[in-house]
């Protein structure tokens, strides 16, 4: 368990979170973004994304990400974001 997970046991490891977020950005934006664009996107959407992926009830997203299937996890996460926003 990473030091972060000791403090917040429901959080995915940072390397998993980062890879999932990168896959989600590619999926939702469909283009390569500059560092500034990525930071702005994360600032706008990061809180909602964290709330979803840190929710232990979101097992499908979390399991796919932990298994390294970031494209599948991003697909599920995008669908969940759209559910929440509508």
- pLDDT for 30 equals 79
At 35 the three-state DSSP class reads: helix
User: If we measure between CA atoms, which residue out of 6, 1, 57, 49 comes closest to residue 25?
Assistant: 49
Q: What are 47-78's pLDDT values in tens digits? A: 999 999 989 899 999 999 999 999 999 999 99
The encoded tokens of residue 25 equal 């950005």
Q: How confident is the model at residue 20 (pLDDT cuts 50, 70, 90)?
A: very high
pTM: 0.80
Q: How confident is the model at residue 2 (pLDDT cuts 50, 70, 90)?
A: low
The encoded tokens of residue 57 equal 């009830």
Q: How confident is the model at residue 10 (pLDDT cuts 50, 70, 90)?
A: low
Greater confidence (29 vs 16) lies with: 16
């Amino acid at each position: 368990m990473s030091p972060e997970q000791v403090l917040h046991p429901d959080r995915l490891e940072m390397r998993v979170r980062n890879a999932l977020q990168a896959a989600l950005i590619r999926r939702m934006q469909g283009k390569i973004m500059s560092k500034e664009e990525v930071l702005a996107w994360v600032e706008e959407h990061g809180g909602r994304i964290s709330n979803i992926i840190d929710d232990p009830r979101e097992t499908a997203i979390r399991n796919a990400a932990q298994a390294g299937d970031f494209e599948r996890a991003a697909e599920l996460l995008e669908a969940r974001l759209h559910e929440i926003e509508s």
